[in-house]
A and B are shown apart, each in its own frame.
Chain A
Amino acid sequence: MTTDAPRATVGNTAPVGTPTKVTQGSRTKGGIGESTLRPDGTLKVTGEFAYSSDMWHEDMLWGQILRSTVAHAEILSIDTGEALATPGVYAVLTYDDLPTAVKNYGLEIQDTPVLAHGRVRHHGEPVAIVAADHPETARRAAAKIKVEYKELPVVTDEASATAPDAPLIHEGRDDHHIGHVAHPNIVHRQPIVRGDVEAARQRADHIVEGEYTFGMQDQAFLGPESGLAVPAEDGGVDLYVATQWLHSDLRQIAPVLGLPEGKVRMTLSGVGGAFGGREDLSMQIHACLLALRTGKPVKIVYNRFESFFGHVHRHPAKLHYEHGATKDGKLTHMKCRIVLDGGAYASASPAVVGNAASLAVGPYVLEDVDIEAIALYSNNPPCGAMRGFGAVQACFAYEAQMDKLADAVGMDRVEFRQLNAMSQGTLMPTGQPVDSPAPVAELLRRVKAMPMPPEQQWLAAGEAADVRQLPGGLSNTTHGEGVVRGVGYAVGIKNVGFSEGFDDYSTAKVRMEVVGGEPVATVHTAMAEVGQGGVTVHAQIARTELGVAQVTIQPADTQVGSAGSTSASRQTYVTGGAVKNACELVREKVLEIGRRKLGTYHPAWATAELLLEGGKVVTDGGEVLADLVDVLEDEAVEVEEEWRHRPTEAFDLRTGQGNGHVQYSFAAHRAVVEVDTELGLVKVIELACAQDVGKALNPLSVIGQIQGGTTQGLGIAVMEEIIVDPVTAKVRNPSFTDYLIPTILDTPTIPVDVLELADDHAPYGLRGIGEAPTLSSTPAVLAAIREATGLELNRTPVRPEHLTGTA
């Protein structure tokens, strides 16, 4: 068997920074640092794991949403009569049926109607909902609802959004951003000004400019939006749903239903991927409304077509950059303007603007900058959270600029980056010092030092070309003709956790007791396990901190305090931190019990540093004092506690100054591509990644995250884009036939080099890892394609017509 097994290494000797320290000994098997396996793995491979679309209930009905067929229109009338009269239909609801005065929701700005009221602002906006006894009955009934639209002119870009006579997407805005934007069709604006750009510009020997376009990417998680709402006897509702943040959903759902939060009991069901696309609500309120109206359980499952309308996408962006450098290759200044299209509703746009602005410089030392980032309201599909938001778009542009500048100066592109790379102590353009390791130059060195994949692998198996190894793959477009190799490098910086003064906390409830003669820890949080492996890590943390073998992970629900969102690379840091903290408190209580019960038997109970290891209380010298079973007997120790990382500050609205971020995360990529330069087809041969993860709590999961994030970056580089018609603002490719994501034949080997340099501010020194690999992957692939083709390529994704002059 021949293999192209990837080289994946963790924990190489760290040449810079502080190596990770762990406080409580991790001599208990299955603790942190080990690649323990997923606790839900068996269920997932046997098909038993219950995803949100798998729910079933006696007598349940099926919900169906009727969505707008136009992007911008006044609704003149809605006639539900015929739909309601359809046999098997139990309810048809419109805006007029909403039970309370709260009719909108939203993550930060409550601007999104639960059901359209008099107007639709984007293609696919929910207008009415139906409950029926079979999905087909519900679909047919929805099709019988007559909606009369009067179409309005559409706003689709910055020019049409900010024109003097532009239709306002939201009239009468009263959110907290309206005061600092130049036009009501701008959601939020964040400038960052530092140093003296004009003076610094004078020192530049080389100035390069670029105008870059970033396409609209879809999260394309495989498990469609779905869930089941079950009306309860107390007038409340039980909701089983796939989401990224139960408590945020709850805060938005309950007021619309007119129920206290205690009567909306949410349980996380299996989540088929998320990537930001489940941060906003989708079917949650609709299912609850129908369940409460009909008194029956209601299940809603989107199909793939509807899913493209059912969640927000990654903001498409236009980015204008100017950089300067001296003849020695030192960066002098940077000016940029980033315009993000937020679509019809705000969603996470303000935070996306904050990230884009504050990370616009990239991981480089630049003291003189002038940055502006804005997000628009338009009639395009709403955009919000997706893995790496704001930073992804900026990285694509600044890394293209770095290559241009290096070429202008005449330096090697990697050396140029290393010369200007930030390090611990560098000031961000926001004035915030980077106060933990920032091994940017080292990551580049490592990724460059990896061995190159062999040339012409399509001939490796014999004399005839193996088309599976060539651009075009099975489509048999080349046997080597026109194929040129290119290599590209990129590095990026991403913030970890919620920024800009947000109270970003998590809650963990940890219980320890003896069950069946063994000490067992139970961990209960509301953390959404979306596939990232948080449940694996929580069990590892509990084993490390409590020295037990058996850990039970409770299902996530709203019976415990908020865990915050599974996004922003934050869950291992924040909910992991909360679990660690709660375990430490439990440990102290257990030791107190031990001292109380057994303290008189051994002086070390009072004098020594005590640890829990292997189900025993031991001294730091390794002497065993007692079995946990004997300490606890029939007592249970339980702690529920909130945990916070250090606070952050808002960015100043004029200067952008402020300690806005918690932590930074860095990754670098080297892409090797082969391009059929005549047909414009690309095969990525290898995407090597080096990333600093602080501490790999579960190395196998860390590598999985890096490879997955890398592949999503590859997707937006060469194929993924939601295409919106510029005239009608309608989505043209809402399907997996025409929105393409990488297959296993498009994905290269992804060797990973993991660096572990502790961030002393973070639990175990860890660094949030999920997003950084999505940043640099895209510009590395683009750089490699540029090298192969000699083309400038200022947009992503790059399609065959862009590579062949036939766009």
Chain B
Amino acid sequence: MRVNFTVNGRPQEADDVWEGESLLYVLRERLGLPGSKNACEQGECGSCTVRLDNVPVCSCLVAAGQVEGRDVVTVEGLADFAKQRAEHGGCASAASGISGATGAACGTPLDAAKRWEARPADSQTGEGTELAPIQQAFIDAGAVQCGFCTPGLLVAADEMLERNPTPTDADIREALSGNLCRCTGYEKIMDAVRLAAARQGEAV
């Protein structure tokens, strides 16, 4: 079947989709957006979290056919989404035509996959890449180790800070309780969200 929907502000069309495919599979394997991760495919880890019509969901549990005509934001579009929100007084609408980052035709092309380039500045400044505040905070706080849980956590944490700009620790833990991380023990993730919240507070 064919599915038309919007991803990170851009209209997308996926063809020859098998009816049992998930939104996650379509994003990763058909639209060249592998940022959403395939860690459990049973809604128990949150690595595939995207925003579907603004709401955080596990993209592994959304059937591809269900997103027809709907609007999706993935980690690849998070920086633009956050920027849009900041420019519109804390209310980003993904449908308002922001230009999302899109990768190659499908998946990660081998040439790109062959070498990731170390950023000489240790990504301290995120040189050359515009990041959402939560993305920068994850780097700065040391919340990224293997990084497989990171995209889902970023989407979930960003959405929480949108709803609740001054969360308590218990609020953060509750909001992120659907996102497993196996490397960090979550402490640095807590630091990162606190940092992003504090920076957001300063900026206002």
Interface residues of A (CB under 8 A from B): 1-6, 30, 35-51, 53-57, 134, 136, 219-224, 228, 230, 240, 267, 269-275, 301, 303-304, 461, 466, 468-469, 473-474, 530-533, 535-536, 539, 549-555, 700-701, 703-704, 707-712, 735-737, 741, 743-745, 747, 749-750
Number of interface residues of B (CB under 8 A): 90
Segment of B64-72, B84-92, B118-126 in the binding face: B118-126
Q: Given the complex, which residues of A lie within 8 Å of B109, measured CB to CB? A: 56-57
Cβ of B17 to closest chain A Cβ, rounded Å: 10
Interface residues of B (CB under 8 A from A): 18, 20-21, 28-29, 32-42, 44-45, 47, 74-76, 78-79, 101, 103-104, 106-110, 112-120, 122-124, 126, 129, 131, 135-136, 138-140, 142, 144-151, 154, 166-170, 172-174, 176-191, 194, 197-198, 201
Task: Please determine whether A222 and B35 come into contact, CB atoms closer than 8 angstroms.
Answer: no
Task: Please determine whether A744 and B107 come into contact, CB atoms closer than 8 angstroms.
Answer: no
Task: Please determine whether A44 and B41 come into contact, CB atoms closer than 8 angstroms.
Answer: no
In angstroms, Cα B172 to Cα A605, docked, is 58
In angstroms, Cα B146 to Cα A533, docked, is 8
Known: A2-B168, A54-B34. 15 other contacts (CB 8 A): A30-B122, A37-B142, A41-B122, A45-B131, A46-B76, A47-B35, A49-B116, A221-B182, A224-B39, A273-B148, A275-B182, A304-B44, A468-B170, A555-B116, A750-B185
Partner of B188, one of A1, A3, A273, A707: A707
In angstroms, Cα B123 to Cα A402, docked, is 46
Given contacts A40-B147, A44-B150, whether A222 and B182 have CB atoms under 8 Å apart is yes
Interchain Cβ contacts under 8 Å between A and B, 19 examples: A1-B198, A38-B144, A45-B139, A45-B147, A45-B150, A46-B76, A47-B33, A50-B113, A56-B29, A221-B148, A222-B39, A468-B173, A551-B120, A555-B115, A555-B116, A703-B188, A707-B185, A745-B174, A750-B187
Given contacts A45-B144, A304-B40, A736-B40, whether A749 and B168 have CB atoms under 8 Å apart is no
Partner of A704, one of B40, B142, B180: B142
Task: Please determine whether B184 and A704 come into contact, CB atoms closer than 8 angstroms.
Answer: yes
Q: Given the complex, which residues of A lie within 8 Å of B37, measured CB to CB? A: 51, 53, 222-223, 272
Residue of B nearest to A740 (CB): B44
Q: Given the complex, which residues of A lie within 8 Å of B188, measured CB to CB? A: 700, 703-704, 707
Task: Please determine whether B142 and A42 come into contact, CB atoms closer than 8 angstroms.
Answer: no
Q: Given the complex, which residues of A lie within 8 Å of B140, measured CB to CB? A: 37
Task: Please determine whether B151 and A37 come into contact, CB atoms closer than 8 angstroms.
Answer: no
Partner of A42, one of B119, B166, B174, B177: B119
Q: Given the complex, which residues of A lie within 8 Å of B135, measured CB to CB? A: 45-46
Task: Please determine whether A48 and B187 come into contact, CB atoms closer than 8 angstroms.
Answer: no
Partner of A224, one of B38, B186, B187: B38
**Inter-chain CB contacts under 8 Å: number:** 273
Q: Given the complex, which residues of A lie within 8 Å of B142, measured CB to CB? A: 35, 37-38, 700-701, 703-704
Task: Please determine whether B120 and A44 come into contact, CB atoms closer than 8 angstroms.
Answer: no
Given contacts A50-B112, A51-B37, whether A37 and B124 have CB atoms under 8 Å apart is yes
Task: Please determine whether B183 and A531 come into contact, CB atoms closer than 8 angstroms.
Answer: yes
Given contacts A37-B139, A50-B108, A704-B188, whether A532 and B145 have CB atoms under 8 Å apart is yes
Task: Please determine whether B34 and A474 come into contact, CB atoms closer than 8 angstroms.
Answer: no
In angstroms, Cα B20 to Cα A580, docked, is 52
In angstroms, Cα B118 to Cα A222, docked, is 23
Q: Given the complex, which residues of A lie within 8 Å of B44, measured CB to CB? A: 304, 735-737
In angstroms, Cα B90 to Cα A372, docked, is 64
Cβ of A558 to closest chain B Cβ, rounded Å: 13
Residue of B nearest to A711 (CB): B185
In angstroms, Cα B79 to Cα A230, docked, is 34
Task: Please determine whether B120 and A552 come into contact, CB atoms closer than 8 angstroms.
Answer: yes
Task: Please determine whether B108 and A56 come into contact, CB atoms closer than 8 angstroms.
Answer: yes
In angstroms, Cα B189 to Cα A306, docked, is 29
Task: Please determine whether B106 and A56 come into contact, CB atoms closer than 8 angstroms.
Answer: yes
Cβ of A17 to closest chain B Cβ, rounded Å: 27
Cβ of B40 to closest chain A Cβ, rounded Å: 4
Partner of B182, one of A5, A304, A555, A741: A741
Q: Given the complex, which residues of B lie within 8 Å of A303, measured CB to CB? A: 38, 41
- A-B complex: 5 closest residue pairs judged by Cβ atoms: A47-B35, A56-B107, A531-B146, A272-B148, A44-B147
In angstroms, Cα B45 to Cα A750, docked, is 22
In angstroms, Cα B178 to Cα A553, docked, is 34
Task: Please determine whether A39 and B108 come into contact, CB atoms closer than 8 angstroms.
Answer: no
Partner of A41, one of B76, B114, B144, B173: B144
Task: Please determine whether B183 and A704 come into contact, CB atoms closer than 8 angstroms.
Answer: yes
Task: Please determine whether B116 and A50 come into contact, CB atoms closer than 8 angstroms.
Answer: yes
Cβ of B196 to closest chain A Cβ, rounded Å: 12
Residue of A nearest to B109 (CB): A56
Interface centre among B119, B147, B168, B194 (most CB of A within 10 A): B147
In angstroms, Cα B172 to Cα A4, docked, is 11
Residue of A nearest to B194 (CB): A3
Q: Given the complex, which residues of B lie within 8 Å of A474, measured CB to CB? A: 174, 177
Task: Please determine whether A736 and B42 come into contact, CB atoms closer than 8 angstroms.
Answer: yes
Cβ of A569 to closest chain B Cβ, rounded Å: 15
In angstroms, Cα B2 to Cα A503, docked, is 57
Residue of B nearest to A51 (CB): B148
Task: Please determine whether B114 and A555 come into contact, CB atoms closer than 8 angstroms.
Answer: yes
Interface centre among A44, A701, A703 (most CB of B within 10 A): A44
Q: Given the complex, which residues of A lie within 8 Å of B145, measured CB to CB? A: 273, 531-533, 704, 708
Q: Given the complex, which residues of A lie within 8 Å of B32, measured CB to CB? A: 56
Q: Given the complex, which residues of A lie within 8 Å of B104, measured CB to CB? A: 56
